[in-house]
Structure 1
Amino acid sequence: MLHNDRVTELVDFKLLQLFDVLYDTRSVTKAADQLRLSQPTASIWLGQLRRELRDPLFVRTPGGMVPTPRATTLIGPCREVLESLRRLTAWEATFDPATAQRRFRISMTDASHVTLLPRLLAELRAKAPRARLDAVGIDGNTERALESGESDLAIGYLPGLAGGIRQEKLYDQDWVCLANPQHPRVRDRLDAHRYRAEDHVIITAGTGTQLLDRGLAQHRVERRVVLELPGILGLGAIIQSTDLLATLPRHIGTTLARTNGLGLFPCPIPIEGFVVAQHWHARFHDEPGNRWLRALVTRLFARRD
């Protein structure tokens, strides 16, 4: 805001505009023309400014209206206020992806780095070539990051998010198993008996892991774990070169099976499925860039079946 005496009370946008233009033009007539005012109206507004600021502001000379020292002192703060007001009024509903230099930040699992991120990045580069995308993990800080705006979106199965978080369903997930296509005991069929008897690799990361563990416990299935991994990195190569089984959500399981030439089977143990959704905080529901990003994610990944 403007400083000194009563200047902080001066909030009339039109008076500030006149002060700004008059300082450049040094002419009430030219300022009135530029602001599309009548000259009498511009003179009345100038009188209001002089009364508000208790200073002549501009003194008439043969060379035009010359600013007083006080006017010269105030023009910088005045223009800062005008720029802030312009940004405030321009915020409303405009986001031009073609020119936006926006940094988007999305919280997602490492499985989504494989299944969602490549397509999302390609579309973002095509539609918003000057934007930047940061992918970060989902953890105990995700809810706070959405509330503060540190993250624009979180994509995944996130049942623990509290009030203030909105969501939109993208797709359903069930569970599948991966196996080496040359597995000596699992080639054409994987049943519950064989599942119990085989060795497994387990992934500890992922928001659906608790559902899997709970479902197996309910059916009294205790996997014989040979390898535990913190994420899916390297999982395809491990399944391809061993006789281990891996149980994964369908989306990442199907992707790994396709890219690594693996056998893909429905999980023979009935495990509760879950919904993958995009999540955002209500504070940013109407923010134009956030709205645009959500619409992009919906178009790319939401299944309507």
Structure 2
Amino acid sequence: MPHTALAPNPDDDLIEPRMLRLLDLLYRTRSVTQSAAALGQSQSTVSIWLGKLRRQLNDPLFVRTPSGMQPTPRADALIETARNALESLRLLTTCDVSFDPATAERTFRICMTDASHITLLPQLLAHVRTFAPCVRLVAARIDGNTAAALQSGEADLALGLVPWLDAGFYQQTLFPQDWVCLVNARHARIAQQLTLQRYCGEGHIGIVGGTGAQVLERALEEQQIHRNIMLELPGFLGLAAIVASTDLIATVPRHIGETLAAMTNLSVLACPVAIPPFTVKQHWHARFHHDPANRWLRGVCEILFQSRRIKHGEPKPGSEA
């Protein structure tokens, strides 16, 4: 006897994967008996499942004929969609989520200071080009949008001093930074040692951008030390050329100072002012803590830049790990 259309049950909105599998098997075999055997269920159980599926889709789906269970036009229309859904579910449970840098094609966006463009980026780029030739890097600024970019996945990592990243973020120390003075190697009034008196009497270049500059300015203010700023720069672009061609002093973190000195005819001298050191860290959001690609990128930065082995990054107190 032909089945009549049944009204859908509003409580049965979602189709279970086993129902999709039943639809596929019935369509292939045209047999409840064979479908039940393939599913490892009794015929009565499969009949109950088929009844539920008919209610959900508001159609008999299959009708008995002398040649077996024949699909209705509704079943014909749905079968490819059902099979695509089953394939998607299969991929979800079997796909390899590992990250192979040798074959991966993706872009990493890293928030960093312009100092890191000089000190860290060349080494990182050389490593990536050697071991991940199809990976592309984008250097982004560290600013007020950094936290949101890391949380959304727009950015993968932040390298530097980013003290405002708190709950929901992991961090890992890479290397410490103290402060040095960068001067022209031919500076007539400064030999191998820079005294506090000479420091206060010379002209200076002030770097006004970044959280490191705030640490420096706060220390100078607390010690009531005044610098004669002759030039202000928003970052480190052009700093080496200017110091090499003038008698001005630049007070900078050691890593950028030593890097610039190695590239130009500059001297690195101990800073006569007590300025608190800080640490350069890598930061990432808890959402991507277990992401294989993000883990690979963090591991590369750890290998390249970490000055001593420490415990792997942990979330700050209150973070959502």
TM-score (norm 1): 0.84
1:138-169 deviation per Cα after TM superposition (whole angstroms, max 9, x unaligned): 01111122222221111111112221111111
- Distance of aligned partners of 1:46 and 1:134 in 2 relative to their CA distance in 1, 3 Å threshold: farther
Runs of 4+ aligned structure 1 residues displaced above 6 Å come to 59-66
Displacement after TM superposition at 1:224 (Å): 0.6
1:183-202 deviation per Cα after TM superposition (whole angstroms, max 9, x unaligned): 11113221111111111111
Larger Rg: 2
Assess if the C-alpha contact under 8 Å between 2:108 and 2:137 holds in 1.
Answer: yes
Assess if the C-alpha contact under 8 Å between 1:198 and 1:245 holds in 2.
Answer: yes
Correspondence for 2:196 = 192
1:67-96 deviation per Cα after TM superposition (whole angstroms, max 9, x unaligned): 532123323543454355345435785222
Correspondence for 1:110 = 114
- Distance of aligned partners of 1:91 and 1:190 in 2 relative to their CA distance in 1, 3 Å threshold: farther
Correspondence for 2:136 = 132
Q: How does 1:23-172 map to 2 (within 5 A)?
A: 26-27=28-29, 38-39=37-38, 41=40, 44=43, 47=47, 50-54=50-54, 55=59, 57=61, 67-79=71-83, 81-82=85-86, 84-86=88-90, 88-89=92-93, 94-172=98-176
Correspondence for 2:16 = 11
Displacement after TM superposition at 1:38 (Å): 4.7
Assess if the C-alpha contact under 8 Å between 2:169 and 2:285 holds in 1.
Answer: yes
Assess if the C-alpha contact under 8 Å between 1:28 and 1:42 holds in 2.
Answer: no
Name the amino acid aligned to 1:240.
A
Q: Structure 2: state its 5+ residue gaps.
A: 1-6, 310-321
Correspondence for 2:263 = 259
- Distance of aligned partners of 1:225 and 1:97 in 2 relative to their CA distance in 1, 3 Å threshold: same
| Identity among equivalent pairs (%) | 52
Displacement after TM superposition at 1:290 (Å): 1.6
Correspondence for 2:240 = 236
Query: What secondary structure, in the 3-state scheme, does the structure 2 residue paired with 1:9 have?
Result: coil
Distance in 2 (alpha carbons) for counterparts of 1:177 and 1:288: 41
Name the amino acid aligned to 1:178.
L
Alignment partner of 1:299 is 2:270: no
User: 180, 186, 195: which one pairs with 1:182?
Assistant: 186
Distance in 1 (alpha carbons) for counterparts of 2:85 and 2:8: 16
Correspondence for 1:276 = 280
Query: What secondary structure, in the 3-state scheme, does the structure 2 residue paired with 1:254 have?
Result: helix
Distance in 2 (alpha carbons) for counterparts of 1:286 and 1:241: 49
Alignment partner of 1:210 is 2:214: yes
TM-score (norm 2): 0.80
User: 205, 209, 214: which one pairs with 1:201?
Assistant: 205
1:18-68 deviation per Cα after TM superposition (whole angstroms, max 9, x unaligned): 545776xx4469xx8xx9x95474895864653233145457899998653
Assess if the C-alpha contact under 8 Å between 2:182 and 2:257 holds in 1.
Answer: yes
Q: Structure 1: state its 5+ residue gaps.
A: none
- Distance of aligned partners of 1:63 and 1:276 in 2 relative to their CA distance in 1, 3 Å threshold: farther
Displacement after TM superposition at 1:130 (Å): 2.3
Distance in 1 (alpha carbons) for counterparts of 2:139 and 2:113: 9
- Distance of aligned partners of 1:148 and 1:222 in 2 relative to their CA distance in 1, 3 Å threshold: same
Name the amino acid aligned to 1:167.
Q
Assess if the C-alpha contact under 8 Å between 2:180 and 2:268 holds in 1.
Answer: yes
Distance in 1 (alpha carbons) for counterparts of 2:272 and 2:78: 76
Which 10-residue stretch deviates more, 66-75 or 41-50?
Answer: 41-50
- Distance of aligned partners of 1:97 and 1:38 in 2 relative to their CA distance in 1, 3 Å threshold: farther
Displacement after TM superposition at 1:135 (Å): 1.2
Assess if the C-alpha contact under 8 Å between 2:179 and 2:253 holds in 1.
Answer: yes
Assess if the C-alpha contact under 8 Å between 1:174 and 1:250 holds in 2.
Answer: yes
